[in-house]
Amino acid sequence: MDLEAREQEAQPLLGKLGRSKFVSVSSKQQAFQASISPKTFTWRLLVLVSGPQLAFVAMLFLVNKFLYWHPVLVYSFAGLTLSLSTWVLKFYRKEPWQLWLGRFMLASTVLGLVSGCLIYFTSSVYYYHYAGAATYTSVVPSQPAESILDAGIVNFAVGSGVDASRSIGFQSAADGAVICLAPIVDASMKPQTPVNVFAYGINCCGWRGNFHCDDALKPSARYGLVRPEPAAVLPPLLRDLASGPSEETLAAAVRLQQASFGGSSEPVKNIFVRYVNDPLLAKMSFVDTAVLAALSCSSLCLVGLIACASLAILGAGKVRLILQRLVA
């Protein structure tokens, strides 16, 4: 009985000791975070930011550079980086702030892979498609479209050009834009001759007879970048990312053009091209778009990493105090 009574008397004291110990540890942690020198903070920030940022940029680069020709290399690197991130998360944890390095690397690798794929399938893949596709020269627009179905770039024969007087603007609800369409003709074609090659663009024409998409107004322009089938450049789950108007929208625009200016209503295979003067410059525009998107994503990732790493090093309370002082 005496032993039980002593244990009951000791319980409140033990509770106080436990709470005081918790308060002491918490106070020490807050004091530790508050006493971090600028040099220590900079070093830890560099450690937490550099590795994840490098992983993010590397994934962006590898996806857009090698996914078209060497997909196994890209996926292998992604798996290796994820494995390294998991190893860092498991073993690099001597201090509380070090736990975040592995987490940041995992997140940056996944985000880099996803962002890289989005940029690749909306921009870079079209550059590689045109770089590897067939190029046809001296093409006469009146010839059957079936003869150049596998073309990526078409060089039209002298005397060919865009007939802007028979162009139309089709308001597409699905695309939320005006789809512009104009027939490409040669000197031998008459108004009633069926047309199966069209120049197209987006928001670059009037409703009738006013077409100024790409280089259609340049007399020297005779090249066309053939619109690829989505199945030729995109996997099934990403067909919605296809650049430009859909096949259904273009078919509706063709019907409107034929109804407005006459022409054969028989179902034929049509080819749609971006009418340009310099095909190399047109191809490189996809690279420029991809580079700009990659730079934007990398900048956002860097800003996010700096903010998250600062929170991990200083703690939310310390960061809140710093922000309050800056605002005040």
Let me know whether 95 and 153 are in one domain.
no
- Taking only the tens place, the pLDDT of each residue in 54-89 is 999 999 999 999 999 999 999 999 999 999 999 998
Q: Does residue 8 fall inside a structural domain?
A: yes
Report the interhelical angle of 71-91 vs 38-66 (nearest 10°). Answer: 160
Show Cβ contacts of residue 311 under 8 Å, excluding neighbours closer than 6 positions: 319
Let me know whether 204 and 173 are in one domain.
yes
Per-residue pLDDT band for 287 (boundaries 50, 70, 90) equals very high
Q: Does residue 16 fall inside a structural domain?
A: yes
Let me know whether 162 and 85 are in one domain.
no
Q: Does residue 175 fall inside a structural domain?
A: yes
Let me know whether 245 and 300 are in one domain.
no
Q: Does residue 236 fall inside a structural domain?
A: no
Let me know whether 125 and 181 are in one domain.
no
Report the alpha-carbon distance of residue 66 to residue 295 in Å, rounded. Answer: 18
Let me know whether 166 and 220 are in one domain.
yes
Let me know whether 121 and 145 are in one domain.
no
What is the extent of the structural domain holding 323?
36-130+287-327
For residues 116 and 233, is the Cβ–Cβ distance under 8 A? no
For residues 67 and 122, is the Cβ–Cβ distance under 8 A? no
**pLDDT (0 to 100) of residue 20:** 44
Let me know whether 261 and 311 are in one domain.
no
List the end-to-end C-alpha distance of the chain, in Å, as a whole number.
63
Let me know whether 45 and 24 are in one domain.
no
- Taking only the tens place, the pLDDT of each residue in 132-166 is 899 999 999 988 888 888 899 999 999 899 999 99
Q: Does residue 119 fall inside a structural domain?
A: yes
Q: Does residue 282 fall inside a structural domain?
A: no
Written as one letter, the residue type at 99 is: L
Let me know whether 177 and 58 are in one domain.
no
Let me know whether 197 and 294 are in one domain.
no
Q: Does residue 6 fall inside a structural domain?
A: yes
Q: Does residue 46 fall inside a structural domain?
A: yes
Report the alpha-carbon distance of residue 155 to residue 277 in Å, rounded. Answer: 10
Number of domains in the chain: 3
Of the listed ranges 108-112, 160-164, 261-265, 300-304, the one predicted with least confidence = 261-265
Let me know whether 227 and 246 are in one domain.
yes
